[in-house]
Amino acid sequence: MAVAFELYGRLYYLDPGEHRPAVGDAVLFPTSRGAEVATCVWAPSYVGEDIGGLSVCAGLATEADLERNERNRARRGRILMAGRRLARENKLPMKIVASDWDDHDEVATLYFGAPHRVDFRQLVRDLARTLECRIELRQVNARDEARVQGGIGPCGRDTCCSTFLKDFEPVTTRMAKDQDLPLNPLRISGACGRLMCCLKYEHPLYQDFKATAPEVGDQFETDDGLVTVVGHSVPRDAVYVRGADGQRKVCPKASACASRQAYESSRETLEVLPPEV
């Protein structure tokens, strides 16, 4: 089964054990600081392979658990507002993006982003005096800042890092070049200001396509005569060709490869034939 702590938030997988919650039910997720309330988004189901290392669901949430969860949620909101206000009053070059509250140990944690190291000792003292609890501040990088905050990506959907993406894989401009994307930072950057993580998803498909497809400028024979490759359409698994009449057409990659091989073999045959006397 899979659960989430926030609406459209990151998924966490659990062993349901003896429990059979339905989608939308509140369940207890075991953590190092005790059981926390989460929402079931994927009902228990059987899988074809053995998956080990999963935590076991602690049961369905009771009314007392739901009330405690709401109190903690409200407390996190107050901690976040207090942190932002005091950071602004102390004129610190930092952006507090999220907060957390551990009611077991009474520890408030604030996550912030900053371009460099920040001396927040006075801020910690002010927060401890205001909130009357122990304070922890943790600096996060640009990608983790977007993950914690959440947001909408250029595709119009929730950002991958705040929903299903577990780890950040390296993304390079070479991936954008291989996919014939414009190297405009405004077009290929995500909400964090870094290269979009989704550039990694289809990159292997483009690599496999270009390894077997004819390159731009190659020529081969078709039923309509000799054509020249002028472009690729990887999602359609096809190539764009232009014939002697100047018209641009779409040709399946399989047909293009077969035609190109036949054309090249015929050219090789012509080259090895002895000249006529």
Q: What is the pLDDT of residue 258?
A: 67
Residue 159 has pLDDT above 80, yes or no: yes
Q: What is the pLDDT of residue 271?
A: 43
pLDDT, tens only, 235-274: 888 888 888 788 888 888 777 776 656 545 655 543 443 4
More confident residue, 61 or 33: 61
Residue in 159, 221, 226 with CA at minimum distance from that of residue 194:
159
- Phi, psi dihedral angles at 37 (to 5 degrees): -80, 130
The count of C-alpha atoms lying within 13 angstroms of the C-alpha of 59, restricted to the half-sphere facing its C-beta, is 7
At 187, the pLDDT band (50, 70, 90 cuts) reads: confident
**Chain region(s) in the chain for CATH 2.30.30:** 214-271
For 243, the token pair is 């014939």
Q: What is the pLDDT of residue 262?
A: 56
Q: What is the pLDDT of residue 110?
A: 93
CB 62 within 8 A of CB 28: no
pLDDT, tens only, 95-120: 999 899 988 888 999 999 888 888 88
> Distances in Å between the alpha carbon of 137 and those of 25, 86, 134, 202?
33, 13, 10, 37
Residues 6+ apart with CB under 8 A from 39: 3, 4, 5, 24, 25, 26, 27
Lowest mean pLDDT among 4-18, 26-40, 243-257, 260-274: 260-274
Mean pLDDT of 177-191: 86
Q: What is the pLDDT of residue 270?
A: 39
Mean pLDDT of 24-53: 87
Q: What is the pLDDT of residue 135?
A: 93
Residues across the chain:
277
Q: What is the pLDDT of residue 153?
A: 83
Residues 6+ apart with CB under 8 A from 95: 112, 113, 114, 145
Fold of 214-271: SH3 type barrels. (2.30.30)
What CATH class has 67-140?
alpha beta
CB 118 within 8 A of CB 94: yes
* CB neighbourhood size of 41 (10 A): 17
Q: What is the pLDDT of residue 112?
A: 92
Q: What is the pLDDT of residue 259?
A: 63
Residues 6+ apart with CB under 8 A from 120: 87, 90, 92, 94, 137
For 70, the token pair is 């709401």
Residue 128 has pLDDT above 50, yes or no: yes
Q: Please state the pTM of the whole predicted model.
A: 0.68
- Phi, psi dihedral angles at 106 (to 5 degrees): 55, 60
Average pLDDT, the chain: 84
Cα–Cα distance for residue pair 108/49, rounded to 1 Å? 40
Q: What is the pLDDT of residue 109?
A: 93
pLDDT, tens only, 202-243: 889 888 888 888 888 888 777 777 888 888 888 888 888 888
CA dihedral of residues 268, 273, 275, 277 (deg, nearest 10): -160
Cα–Cα distance for residue pair 248/83, rounded to 1 Å? 60
What are the beta bridge partners of residue 229? 241
Residues 6+ apart with CB under 8 A from 130: 82, 86
More confident residue, 112 or 7: 112
**Chain region(s) in the chain for CATH 3.30.300:** 67-140
Q: What is the pLDDT of residue 272?
A: 40
Residue entry with tokens 């006075």: 122
For 24, the token pair is 């939308």
Cα–Cα distance for residue pair 117/135, rounded to 1 Å? 18
What are the beta bridge partners of residue 242? 228, 248
